[in-house]
Structure 1
Amino acid sequence: MKVLVVGGGGREHALVWKLAQSPRVEKIYCAPGNAGIAQQAECVPLKPTDLEALANFAAAQKLALTVVGPEAPLIAGIVDLFEARGLPIFGPSKDPARIEGSKAFAKRLMQTSGIPTASFWVCDSPTVARARIADYYAQHGADARIVVKADGLAAGKGVTVATSRQEAEEAVHRLMEEKVFGEAGAHVIIEECLTGEEASIMAITDGSHIVPLLPSQDHKRVYDNDQGPNTGGMGAVCPVPILPPDLTQQAVERILRPAIEAIRALGIPYRGTLYAGVMVTPEGPKCIEFNCRFGDPETQAVLPLLESDLLDLLLGAVECTLDQVEVCWKQGAAVNVVAASAGYPGSYETGKPIYGIEEAEAEGCLVFHAGTRREGDQLVTDGGRVLSVTGLGADIHEAMAQAYRGIARISFEGMHYRRDIGARNLR
């Protein structure tokens, strides 16, 4: 069968890489793809948000399945369009995709469903937001931490964990008055700061049945020891010692299942990937946020450990037969490290020649491309997060060592990466 993957980042490269292993997949297209994806799929010059063009392409090629990577086309309604035309597609439709598109919607759904989460306030003006911040610091003291979140999509960068009232108010100013993320900051969520350690649980669901993937842990801050601004993700580890099977199942039953049931009660079943960002607290896992798609770079750490055929899982969700799919995992661990352009997550230049990928692969690593393109025979940078290297091992220590041996082989002007991905898990 023929399959289309929508997107062009490291997550989509991992999806293409895993789907290419299925004996039932004869041809993979990717829109728009990247230089690495082009080695395993035919790249199609269509934007992920050009929904009509993607639907026309899927119909013309008689595709058996379209798999959507990024959140923007899901929130824009690509699944609704495809389903209206009878085109098989993996992902939630527009209405339930609001669980990522609006943090206010997600928090209210958590509240009404009894999902454990932080206390929160939805604010529709800077004045209201500053008043909530002032009240919070009056109650909790000057040393308290508070979270300020943009309500809409901000590429994973719209969250500030403030350590002072001034920092929180500055975050409100950037989001609501400077509008650094446009209309995503028209509303903000002011939230209690949970204490514990963060982890991610991605699950595939057909609206009734849930198959949790191995838990993983993203590293959001740009610099070592979780310093610097938030990014789209600088690396990931899988599995996560702080989420053993019993706690993972607790999170499924207390967080993921109630969310899926609440969405079904609204009238449109949730089919696709539901990603829960959780904080493992002394009281158990609490939900920080939901995403409506696979994580990036979590996918690059999770899928290399999946023994089963990914296509079976995706079709099981689309065809509502997920209860008939058996899932097997490889033993061991995976560590993924992202190589970024100079200046990321701020402004950066592109077109820098990339060297050493074959040498990294010779170390036994998997190299997933994100912001890359070809200029003639030369591979060059074409984004903030350029590529990532996944190392595998019997445990996190071995996987971490392999990942760093591999990424040390790669170079481009201004390249930077964190050198502590996985270190907290060793502790």
Structure 2
Amino acid sequence: MRVLVIGSGGREHALCWAIAASPLLTKLYCAPGNAGIAREAECVAIGADDSDALLDFCKREKIDLVVVGPEAPLVAGLANRLRAEGIRTFGPDAAAAQLEGSKGFSKDICAKYNIPTAAYRRFTEAGAAKAYIREMGAPIVVKADGLAAGKGVTVAMTEEEAIAAVDAAMTDGAFGAAGAELVIEECMVGEELSFFALADGETALPLASAQDHKRVGDGDTGPNTGGMGAYSPAPVCTPELERRIIDEILTPTVEAMKAEGAPFKGVLFIGLMITEEGPKVIEYNVRFGDPECQVLMMRLQSDILPALIATADGTLKNFDLRWQPKAAMTVVLASDGYPGTYQKGTVIRNVDGAEADPDVTVFHAGTARNDAGDLIATGGRVLNVTAVGDTVGAARDSAYAAVDLIQWPEGFCRRDIGHRALD
């Protein structure tokens, strides 16, 4: 099969790494890719948002399957365009992608179909939003309705902080059009969990559990990020809890989207809060998590390509996947200053040395090569140092040993990834 993966981050590198191992594969492309992805696939200089060029490329190269990595092209309708031209595509169409594209839409789906989530209100006017905050008090959560690259959520511990978040989104335009509408909801208390499933519009196939670390600093402090590390499996996801998630959230969500005339086909990533009352939806995502995808691909024993095809073709029923019993952990190396402003173009050395351990793979999230051939940082999150081990603790030790071999003075990482599992 001739496969095109769309995207340029650590998630897409992990997907390319897994797909490249499939005996079904004859040629793998990635658009636009990065310096690490170039080891697994032929990188094509087409942006993930350039649907015209992507469509032309698929036709010219006779692509058999397109795997859309990031959410923005899905929300913009890329999967619709590809399927309309008869190109098999892994990823939901625009209507189903609204589960991530509009937090208001997803909250309304939960309310309509009795899927447990936090109490909420939607606002398009700053004054009304501020009045609601003063009425409800803090802590409270303020979310930009649209896509904001993981930065549109403020967990406000004071009313003043929440009101400042309203001003940033609605008055200052910090998130552009994504912040024109806000969702304000109760602050749930509990442990967070990332739950993934493949869905073909009818059938949902749960994947292994994972847990992400969103805050930039050790001890879960500082602003939210796209994710500073992850591990799998997550001890909090017991068999009993998994059954509740499937029965109370996953299956009802797939059935709800079908009932709404927008059957979901792709990977459904549900961010959950495990409260005293049970699991509740924090948010939906319509693509693999980043960096959770990295640990999932490291633990997956089955060939990923047939699973992606079955999802796209609507043949997931009776499909199964095998997972190795080992744990996996990924540690994100980010540019100093992330998630704020940061310098680009700094040189990174000895990534090969970090990968000398056979249990370690370094997935690239924001890298390129300069004219001298040096590996350079091009983004906020830059490398995902990923390891497997018999336990979460063993995976952690291998991952951090590899991190310490990478020479990049302008980078940093959290030093406590996996602390929830280890504690």
What percent identity do the matched residue pairs reach?
49
Kindly provide the amino acid, as one letter, of the partner of residue 234 in structure 2: V
Residues 134-153 of structure 1 aligned to structure 2 (within 5 Å): 134-137=134-137, 144-153=138-147
Looking at structure 2, the residues matched to 324 and 280 of structure 1 have their Cα atoms a distance apart, in angstroms, of 29
Looking at structure 2, the residues matched to 18 and 398 of structure 1 have their Cα atoms a distance apart, in angstroms, of 22
Looking at structure 2, the residues matched to 318 and 300 of structure 1 have their Cα atoms a distance apart, in angstroms, of 21
Aligned to 1:228, the other structure's residue is in SS state strand
What displacement does 1:202 show? 1.2
TM-score between the two structures when normalised by the length of structure 2 = 0.98
Looking at structure 2, the residues matched to 424 and 268 of structure 1 have their Cα atoms a distance apart, in angstroms, of 36
Structure 1 residue 373 and structure 2 residue 400: aligned?
Answer: no
Looking at structure 1, the residues matched to 80 and 325 of structure 2 have their Cα atoms a distance apart, in angstroms, of 38
Counterpart for residue 141 of structure 1: none
Residues 124-139 of structure 1 aligned to structure 2 (within 5 Å): 124-137=124-137
Counterpart for residue 236 of structure 1: 230
Looking at structure 2, the residues matched to 225 and 365 of structure 1 have their Cα atoms a distance apart, in angstroms, of 25
Residues 93-172 of structure 1 aligned to structure 2 (within 5 Å): 93-137=93-137, 144-172=138-166
CA deviations 1:5-56 (Å, max 9, x no partner) are: 0000000000000001110011110000000000110000000010111111
Residues 186-265 of structure 1 aligned to structure 2 (within 5 Å): 186-265=180-259
Looking at structure 2, the residues matched to 245 and 399 of structure 1 have their Cα atoms a distance apart, in angstroms, of 22
Specify which of 390, 393, 397 is matched with residue 389 of structure 2. Answer: 393
Counterpart for residue 318 of structure 1: 312
Kindly provide the amino acid, as one letter, of the partner of residue 128 in structure 1: A
Specify which of 334, 337, 340 is matched with residue 340 of structure 1. Answer: 334
Structure 1 residue 62 and structure 2 residue 57: aligned?
Answer: no
Looking at structure 2, the residues matched to 380 and 168 of structure 1 have their Cα atoms a distance apart, in angstroms, of 37
Kindly provide the amino acid, as one letter, of the partner of residue 374 in structure 1: R
Looking at structure 2, the residues matched to 124 and 215 of structure 1 have their Cα atoms a distance apart, in angstroms, of 36
- 8 Å CA contact retained: 1:205, 1:272: yes
What displacement does 1:121 show? 0.5
Which ranges of structure 2 fall in alignment gaps of 5 or more residues?
none
Counterpart for residue 77 of structure 1: 77
CA deviations 1:65-114 (Å, max 9, x no partner) are: 00000000000000110111001110000011000000000000001111
Structure 1 residue 183 and structure 2 residue 152: aligned?
Answer: no
Counterpart for residue 7 of structure 2: 7
- 8 Å CA contact retained: 1:312, 1:325: no
- 8 Å CA contact retained: 1:148, 1:171: yes
Looking at structure 2, the residues matched to 359 and 13 of structure 1 have their Cα atoms a distance apart, in angstroms, of 19
Counterpart for residue 413 of structure 1: 409
Kindly provide the amino acid, as one letter, of the partner of residue 369 in structure 1: H
Aligned to 1:253, the other structure's residue is in SS state helix
What displacement does 1:389 show? 0.5
Looking at structure 2, the residues matched to 26 and 245 of structure 1 have their Cα atoms a distance apart, in angstroms, of 38
Looking at structure 2, the residues matched to 309 and 418 of structure 1 have their Cα atoms a distance apart, in angstroms, of 32
TM-score between the two structures when normalised by the length of structure 1 = 0.97
Counterpart for residue 384 of structure 1: 380
Aligned to 2:347, the other structure's residue is in SS state coil
Aligned to 1:367, the other structure's residue is in SS state strand
Aligned to 2:413, the other structure's residue is in SS state coil
Counterpart for residue 33 of structure 1: 33
Kindly provide the amino acid, as one letter, of the partner of residue 66 in structure 1: V
Counterpart for residue 423 of structure 1: 419
Once structures 1 and 2 are overlaid, which stretch shifts more, 118-127 or 265-274? 265-274
CA deviations 1:164-188 (Å, max 9, x no partner) are: 1111111111111111110111011
CA deviations 1:191-224 (Å, max 9, x no partner) are: 0011100010111011111111111111111110
Specify which of 252, 274, 283 is matched with residue 277 of structure 2. Answer: 283
Work out the number of aligned pairs and report it.
421
What displacement does 1:252 show? 1.7
Once structures 1 and 2 are overlaid, which stretch shifts more, 376-385 or 94-103? 376-385
Aligned to 1:46, the other structure's residue is in SS state coil
Kindly provide the amino acid, as one letter, of the partner of residue 148 in structure 1: V
Structure 1 residue 88 and structure 2 residue 88: aligned?
Answer: yes
- 8 Å CA contact retained: 1:34, 1:370: yes
Looking at structure 2, the residues matched to 136 and 14 of structure 1 have their Cα atoms a distance apart, in angstroms, of 42
Which ranges of structure 1 fall in alignment gaps of 5 or more residues?
138-143
Looking at structure 1, the residues matched to 380 and 403 of structure 2 have their Cα atoms a distance apart, in angstroms, of 16
Kindly provide the amino acid, as one letter, of the partner of residue 182 in structure 1: G
What displacement does 1:235 show? 0.5
CA deviations 1:230-260 (Å, max 9, x no partner) are: 1111001111011112211211221111111
CA deviations 1:277-314 (Å, max 9, x no partner) are: 00011111111100111110110111110111111111
Kindly provide the amino acid, as one letter, of the partner of residue 373 in structure 2: D
Aligned to 1:225, the other structure's residue is in SS state coil
Aligned to 1:398, the other structure's residue is in SS state helix
What displacement does 1:326 show? 2.1
Kindly provide the amino acid, as one letter, of the partner of residue 114 in structure 1: N
- 8 Å CA contact retained: 1:113, 1:258: yes
Residues 290-329 of structure 1 aligned to structure 2 (within 5 Å): 290-329=284-323
What displacement does 1:324 show? 3.9
Looking at structure 2, the residues matched to 268 and 337 of structure 1 have their Cα atoms a distance apart, in angstroms, of 36
Kindly provide the amino acid, as one letter, of the partner of residue 99 in structure 2: I
Runs of at least 4 residues off by over 3 Å = none
